[in-house]
Structure 1
Amino acid sequence: MKLVCCPAVVLVVAVIGLNTGAVFLSEDSPWTITAGTTASVTCGYQNITNYTVYWEKEEHSRVTPGNETLIFQNVQVTDHGNYSCVIEANDNVLENRTLDIRVSYPSGNISISVSNRVRANYTISGGANATLECSVDGFPPPFITWRKDGAIIKEENLTDHYGLRQPPTDGFISVFDVINAGREDSGTYVCTANNSANQNDSREAEVHLAVPTYPPRHISISVDKGVKAKYTIPGGANATLVCSVDVFPPPFITWRKDGDIIKEENLTDRYGLRQPPTDGFISVFDVINAGREDSGTYVCTANNSANQNDSQEAEVHLAVPNYFPVLQNQGELSRRFTVVEGESIVVNFTVVSSPRSLVVKWSLQPDGSNETSVWSRSVDNSLWNMRNRTLSTDVQLFQFYHVNVTENMTGLYRVILTNGLRRNLDLEYSIGIGYDTTGRSINATDVYSNTTDLNLKDDEDYESTWKILLAVVVGVVVTNVLLVVLLSFCIRGVMPAAVEHVYHAVDESLMLDLPVTEANTNYMRPFDPYSMQRYLNRGVTCMETDV
């Protein structure tokens, strides 16, 4: 800046402080001038004519002795500050006025530092925090725009923060914080600054931030693409549990059910050392043909080299209210029993299912013979019998009785249980006769030397499945026979005359050759089509009877 002192040529623009003196300035305070231009301000005093004027800048540094006009040629940024116009007469200070001069200039000297270090590239650990500081000068304080990989992430008008003041020594500061750094925080950050001195000429600085490793986060479990805390699936159905986690490097996954490990998987083996996909790294646990044992709480735990001591986990509760039958004791699955001929034996199976199960098959296959139903072998229920006892809500005891075992009752027995779901329970056991009574082996079941001990008839919950099935079959057969008979009567009732004649001849041949007496008038014989025709002519339907 070059300051020029001139004779007093006073242009009065404003008179300030008339109560304390008649000092006037040609510019109001604060006064903003633009860097690189020429500017001037004049100071005067109204009440007397014999006075001296000089200017000083802060701390009494006199800059214009004996001149009323302060001139700035090629204004510099450093010209800003507080300037005082001092009025003297007879070596005495009569009055002074201060003018706050500000210099407007475009934003510049912009830089980004991370953790107080200015570099083009930074690497931070996953899970750590980092502060990006954009330092910039210029006046007025600039408008700051933060971008990451081209997308705006923050905007800030530093005038709101600093007010209309010249920049501090280290410039105006705008801050962007990275918290718990992860994959999405890697990228190029750009700070752009502009102000009214350079609306069309902004300044920017950039830095590349790398997060090579970071611990697991954003972990969740979804079941069939839905993320909830609890899921219910029907028994026999399939379900896919998907554990998704955002982490690098790919984590080690541990699946647990009710605290027990059910699967372990190192996702680096599948994904390699790559950044995670958009939906994160995925680990899958499949529930196939869901049963009672699949109900419980499933937990997916993830950790990697970035957090060996700080794993992350997600959990989901899976409920299977309906499930196919299974044995409560797997030791009952396949057994062989040896008895003495003439003894009786009860074979027990404890079954867990929901809803309750029924026996749909009980068969015997003697050695070298075909398999046949046990029920067809013993219609009178004298040699075989079965009980189904309810022990609790979902536990049943199936008991298969073999009375007075003989040679033709030995062989392989097969039992099939179902409760209407997609998987049945197949059971089998075998019975043989041992003739050495001192060395015979009886395996974990009940053997009786007489039928009285079996107590077959005193169980209130006793259900004989073969009786139910037999009743159903008989009912179906009887119903179908009645339908066929009625249908044949209806069809014959509308036959042409020639056909009716044939039926009439057949009816006559089938009539019982019995004397007509009161005793035999109720004998059943085929329906007379001529009688039917008479009813039809009278408007009677084929379902009516002759009274």
Structure 2
Amino acid sequence: MHAFQGRQNAGVAWLRVDTQTILTIHGHVITKNHRIGVTHSDHRTWNLHVKELRQSDRGWYMCQINTDPMKSQVGYLNVVVPPDILDTGTSTDMVVREGSNVSFQCAASGSPPPSITWRRESGEPITLPTGVEVISADGPVMNISRVSRLHMGAYLCIASNGVPPSVSKRIMLIVHFPPMVWIQNQLVGAMEGDRMTLECHSEAYPKSINYWTGEKDEIIAHSAKFEPVTLENNYKVLMKLTINNVGPSDFGSYKCVSKNSLGDTDGTIKLYPITRPSTNRPKHKGKSLFAAI
């Protein structure tokens, strides 16, 4: 409930200045607006009440005292409205190819007009087209040039205008790119009887199909001899191939293969034999350090 006050024993009227509408005269409500009310205290303090405030109630109001000459006082009613993010003009989740440009947009209503701030949900910095990294960016539009897989994730559009609560919208950026593979050790030595693990890293989105092949490009399945394992973390994949009890037939080339809808690639690891060192100690051929007496 909001109120403006005027003091006088004479008749008091309340008016809406911008529309020249008479709201109340003395203790009677004249307007047909059911949200308007008037009260007084000892005929000296007159209060205009506006309930269920709307933005349309914003404006100048006049308390007019019907004396000769007439006296009046005006007051401004400012109606504040918490922010609200609008569907129209606000980006939804996006799927883009790596290397393209992206423009995020966020539209919000409220009074006073809200300010817009962008953040990454993960807390990681945002790389602007200038190359500068920032934790947050301001403005209704945020551009990212030459999108890479590192930009993939959730972005938050936050609208605030000093009237609680602030509101936010979560926009997911999904970046598509073909598989790539890299291997830390492409040449691995092992001795017969060893238990050896080969490792291969890949990145791809959409998620890739990953498997190992042998010398004849046959797919290696899980068995007592071979244990292929795939560890996934978002678009990153670690492929492991464990070879139990390495034998002569296990030496050779192995391929890790990664495929998705955008392409495929592979990497090669060569397993070669290492001769097991001899356990016999060499005989000492030096002269005795002791002489007979």
TM-score, normalisation: structure 1: 0.29
Q: Please show how residues 25-36 of structure 1 align to structure 2 within 5 Å.
A: 26-29=90-93, 31-36=94-99
- 1:27 Cα deviation after fit: 4.2
Indicate whether 1:132 and 2:132 are aligned: no
From 38, 43, 52, give the equivalent of 2:115: 52
Alignment partner, residue 41 of structure 2: none
Alignment correspondent of 1:40: 103
Residue 154 of structure 1, CA deviation: 3.2
1:194 aligns with 2:259: yes
Of the three residues 105, 116, 120, the one matched with 2:177 is 105
State the partner residue of 2:151.
79
The answer to whether the Cα contact below 8 Å between 1:39 and 1:71 also exists between their aligned partners in 2 is yes
Determine helix, strand or coil for the equivalent of 1:36: coil
Query: Which of the two has higher C-alpha Rg?
Result: 1
Q: Is the 8 A contact 2:95 2:176 kept in 1?
A: yes
Match for residue 206 of structure 1?
268
- Corresponding residue to 1:64 among 132, 137, 155: 137
Contact 2:98–2:176 (8 Å) recurs in 1: yes
Look up the equivalent residue of 2:232 and give its one-letter code: Y
Name the CA distance, whole Å, in 1 between partners of 2:172 and 2:119. 12
Mapping of residues 435-474 of structure 1, within 5 Å: none
Give the conservation status (yes or no) of the 8 Å contact 2:91–2:106.
Answer: no
CA deviations 1:186-229 (Å, max 9, x no partner) are: 11111122323x32xx2221111123569xxxxxxxxxxxxxxx
What amino acid is aligned across from residue 105 of structure 1 in structure 2? F
Q: Any unmatched runs of 5+ in structure 2?
A: 1-81, 126-133, 223-227, 281-293
1:141 matched to 2:207? The reply is yes
Specify the alignment match of 1:8 in structure 2.
Answer: none
Supply the AA of the counterpart residue of 1:78: L
RCO (CA 8 Å, sep 6+): is it higher in 1 or 2?
A: 2
Tell me the C-alpha RMSD between the 2 structures: 3.5
Distance 1:96 1:121 in 2: 51
**Does structure 2 conserve the Cα–Cα contact (< 8 Å) formed by 1:141 and 1:162?**
no
Residue of structure 2 aligned with 1:152, choices 206, 218, 231:
218
| Structure 2 match to 1:322 | none
- Alpha-carbon separation, structure 2, partners of 1:155 and 1:23: 52
Contact 1:110 1:203 in 2 (8 A): no
- Runs of 4+, deviation exceeding 6 Å: 305-308
SS in 2 for 1:141: coil
Distance 1:98 1:155, change over 3 A: farther
Amino acid at match of 2:241: F
Asked if the contact 2:98–2:148 (Cα under 8 Å) also holds between the matched residues in 1, the reply is yes
Quote how far apart the aligned CAs of 1:110 are: 1.7
Residues 120, 182 of structure 1: alpha-carbon distance in 2 compared, 3 angstrom cutoff: same
Deviation of the 1:107 alpha carbon: 2.0
Assess if the C-alpha contact under 8 Å between 2:207 and 2:260 holds in 1: yes
Matched letter for residue 152 of structure 1: E
- Report the AA paired with residue 101 of structure 1: L
Question: Structure 2 vs 1, CA of residues 306 and 136 (structure 1 numbering), >3 Å: closer, same or farther?
Answer: farther
1-structure distance, mates of 2:214, 2:161: 63
Given the alignment of the two structures, is residue 176 of structure 1 paired with residue 246 of structure 2, yes or no? Answer: no
What CA distance in whole angstroms lies between the structure 2 residues aligned with 1:212 and 1:147? 22
Aligned counterpart, 1:260:
none
Helix, strand or coil for the counterpart of 2:220? strand
| Alpha-carbon distance between aligned partners in 1 of 2:188 and 2:105, rounded to the nearest angstrom | 53
Written as runs of structure 1 = structure 2, the 5 A alignment for 1:130-529 is 130-154=196-220, 162=232, 165-167=234-236, 172-196=237-261, 198-199=262-263, 202-211=264-273
CA contact (8 A) 1:87 1:95 kept: yes
**Number of the residue aligned with 2:130:** none
Name the CA distance, whole Å, in 1 between partners of 2:163 and 2:220. 58
Higher strand share: 2
8 Å CA contact retained: 1:110, 1:137:
no
Partner SS state of residue 201, structure 2: strand
CA distance in structure 1 between the aligned counterparts of 2:91 and 2:99, rounded to whole angstroms: 19
The answer as to whether partners of 2:199 and 2:240 remain within 8 angstroms in 1 is: yes
Relative distance call for 1:307 and 1:148 in structure 2 (3 A) is farther
Letter in 2 for 1:107: P
- Structure with the bigger percentage of helix: 1
Normalised by the size of structure 2, how large is the TM-score? 0.52
Change (3 A) 1:129 1:142: same
Structure 1 residue 88 displacement after superposition: 1.4
